[in-house]
Amino acid sequence: MTRTRVVAPAALAAAVLAVALAPSPSPNPGPGTVAAAPSLQQPLDDETDRGGAPFDPALAALSCPIERGPVKEGSDDRYRVSTTITATSVAYLVSRPKPSSYPNNNRLVPYERMTWQLTATLLQYKQESDGDVHLVMQDSAGRKMIAELPYSPCVPTSSRWQAAIAAARASFNHTYTPTTSWHYVRRTVTLKGLALFDPPHGQTGAAGNGIELHPVTAVTFH
């Protein structure tokens, strides 16, 4: 005799719900397809204040800047940069035209091929999870822009400013102790450094055109 199993309505509903909530299996990439390696850069990038991982020197050294990295660390077409110091202001830099493209290994003419000196108010700073120290600078009219002190182990020996970058970072650390939490100050600071147009990605204090002093090569507190 054939027996028919009767499922109670409550049990049936529970079974349907379990199937609906079960995670879908990962798709088979197929032959010849290489799965993407996990990115170390993105989880360590803490500029957007979304709460990145705490600073870890071992991981930070593996997460050196990728996007425009050679420009950020001064190992690109560095010998084309003028070493003549040009005094500037936040107002001037943030009013420069926003670039239409961001070459990874070359500096944009003329602004990224000049050495700038900027005096403004340091509003806040923090150490990003990739090791860089992120500074928010502001002028008397409230205009803001970013300056960055690179993480020294990420600055290659080919960088024309390796020693200057290390000295600037040491000078800052002698006065303040950066952590991965924001520190708020109002202090006049003079910075020397190279300009960098950074593609916008939600950075705190970013200028509308994305210009930064990055790398900073000298710091003087007033």
C-beta separation of 60 from 54 below 8 A: no
- Whose structure tokens read 């040491």? 170
Q: What percent of the chain has pLDDT over 70?
A: 70
* The pLDDT value given to residue 58: 62
Domain annotation covers residue 27: no
User: Does 31 score more than 50 pLDDT?
Assistant: no
Domain annotation covers residue 98: yes
C-beta separation of 134 from 122 below 8 A: no
Burial of 34 (0-12, 13-18, 19+ CB in 10 A): exposed
Residue from 94, 115, 118 nearest 219 by CA: 118
Domain annotation covers residue 4: no
The count of structural domains within the chain is: 1
| Residue predicted with more confidence, 23 or 107 | 107
Domain annotation covers residue 31: no
Domain annotation covers residue 35: no
Alpha helices in the chain (DSSP H): 9-21, 41-44, 57-62, 69-72, 90-94, 162-175
User: Does 210 score more than 70 pLDDT?
Assistant: yes
Domain annotation covers residue 34: no
d(CA 211, CA 200): 10
* The pLDDT value given to residue 70: 78
Domain containing 90 — which CATH number?
2.40.50.140
Span 136-177, pLDDT tens digits? 999 999 999 999 999 988 888 888 889 999 999 999 999 999
d(CA 127, CA 217): 17
Residue from 116, 125, 102, 118 nearest 201 by CA: 102
* The pLDDT value given to residue 24: 40
Domain annotation covers residue 57: yes
C-beta separation of 149 from 176 below 8 A: no
- The mean pLDDT value of the chain amounts to 79
Span 42-100, pLDDT tens digits? 333 444 444 455 666 666 655 676 678 778 777 677 788 899 999 999 999 999 999 99
Domain that holds residue 104: 41-221
* The pLDDT value given to residue 63: 60
Domain annotation covers residue 77: yes
